[in-house]
């Protein structure tokens, strides 16, 4: 079976996985499983023996999986652990899942990971390009470059990253929105103020300190192609279906 997986898919992870919570490494294992609950990215599951009983307290029983509170030291996270042992989830029997966001930190080998585990079938490439790219918002040109960097990410639309000096900086208004990507890092956003009366919110993002594999987009901006008009070598592009950046 090849990705993206449309049916239940589980495979062994070759990595040492550690989970930090309340100052304690509650999981330290080489027996983790990658489970594709979503077709877009995997989740780490663990054999039940890899999380000591002293760190979990039964919160509620459910046919699809019992929920447990996670407790270590003085810290507690409610319903942070799901333990599977049901006929409806036979492929998950004997496994447990820790809610990624409720742990303090996750490590693959000695590297901390963020947001969710990286998909071993996904890759991200940043390539220099000489294509002529223009971006318009409501008919107003907001970017024009002949030296973009194109970011190719498996399963997602190609994103054009453009130097800020090739953009109408006077139209970019800083936003408070911040999002995170396990491959690229932490993204900051701009609104585009196309006129005194018209502002398009959070349509531009950029990475101040991208992850090493995406260092080439450092400080460059990308436009939300699904919400703007993009012209490549003079040809207006069809807007892709809306997906996360």
Q: Which residues contact 110 (CB under 8 A, 6 or more apart)?
A: none
> Is the CB of residue 81 less than 8 Å from the CB of residue 96?
yes
**Chain CA centroid to CA 110, Å:** 20
Whether residue 4 is predicted with pLDDT greater than 70 in this model: the reply is no
What DSSP character marks residue 201? E
pLDDT at 151: 97
Nearest CA-CA partner of 161 in 118, 131, 122, 182: 131
The fold for domain 10-113 equals 2.170.150
Which of the following CATH numbers is that of domain 124-236: 3.40.50.300, 2.170.150.40, 3.20.20.70, 2.40.30.10? 2.170.150.40
Pick the range with the lowest mean pLDDT from 1-5, 77-81, 114-118: 1-5
Q: pTM for the complete prediction? A: 0.84
- Three-state DSSP at 162 gives strand
Q: Nearest Cα to 92, choosing from 47, 56, 28?
A: 47
pLDDT at residue 2 is higher than 70: no
pLDDT band at 7 (very low <50, low <70, confident <90, very high): low
pLDDT at 175: 98
- Per residue in 94-144, pLDDT (tens digit) is 899 999 999 999 999 999 999 999 999 999 999 999 999 999 999 999 999
**HEC per residue, 56-74:** EEEEECCCCCEEEEEEECC
Looking at every residue in the chain, the average pLDDT score rounds to 92
Give the span between the Cα atoms of 210 and 213, in whole angstroms: 8
Closest CA to 44 of 16, 71, 22: 16
| Coarse DSSP helix, strand, coil percentages of the chain, rounded to the nearest 5 percent | 10, 50, 40
Per-residue confidence band for 244, with pLDDT thresholds at 50, 70 and 90: very low
Q: CA angle, corner 42, sides to 67 and 66, nearest 5?
A: 10
For residues 75 and 21, the answer to whether their CB atoms sit within 8 Å is yes
Q: ∠ CA(233), CA(234), CA(237), 5° rounding?
A: 90
Domain boundaries, the chain: 10-113, 124-236
Percentage of the chain lying above the pLDDT 90 cut: 81
Residue 245: pLDDT band (50, 70, 90) is very low
Strand partners for 236: 231
């Amino acid at each position: 079976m090849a990705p993206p997986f449309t049916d239940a898919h589980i495979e062994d992870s070759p990595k040492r996985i550690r989970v930090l919570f309340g100052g304690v490494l509650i999981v330290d294992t080489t027996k983790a499983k990658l489970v594709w609950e979503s077709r877009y990215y995997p989740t780490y599951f663990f054999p039940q023996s890899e999380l000591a009983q002293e760190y979990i307290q039964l919160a509620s029983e459910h046919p699809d999986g019992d929920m447990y509170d996670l407790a270590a030291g003085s810290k507690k996270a409610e319903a942070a652990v799901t333990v599977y042992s049901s006929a409806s989830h036979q492929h998950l029997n004997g496994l447990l899942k820790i809610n990624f966001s409720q742990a303090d930190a996750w490590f693959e080998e000695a590297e901390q990971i963020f947001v969710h585990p990286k998909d071993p079938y996904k890759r991200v490439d940043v390539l220099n390009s000489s294509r002529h790219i223009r971006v318009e918002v409501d008919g107003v040109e907001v970017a024009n470059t002949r030296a973009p960097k194109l970011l190719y990410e498996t399963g997602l639309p190609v994103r054009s990253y453009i130097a800020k000096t090739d953009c109408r900086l006077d139209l970019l208004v800083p936003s408070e929105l911040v999002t995170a990507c396990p491959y690229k890092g932490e993204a900051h956003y701009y609104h585009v103020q196309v006129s005194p009366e018209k502002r398009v919110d959070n349509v531009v993002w950029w990475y101040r300190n991208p992850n090493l594999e995406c260092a080439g987009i450092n400080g460059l901006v990308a436009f939300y192609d699904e919400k703007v008009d993009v012209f490549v070598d003079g040809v207006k592009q069809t807007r892709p279906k809306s997906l996360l950046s």
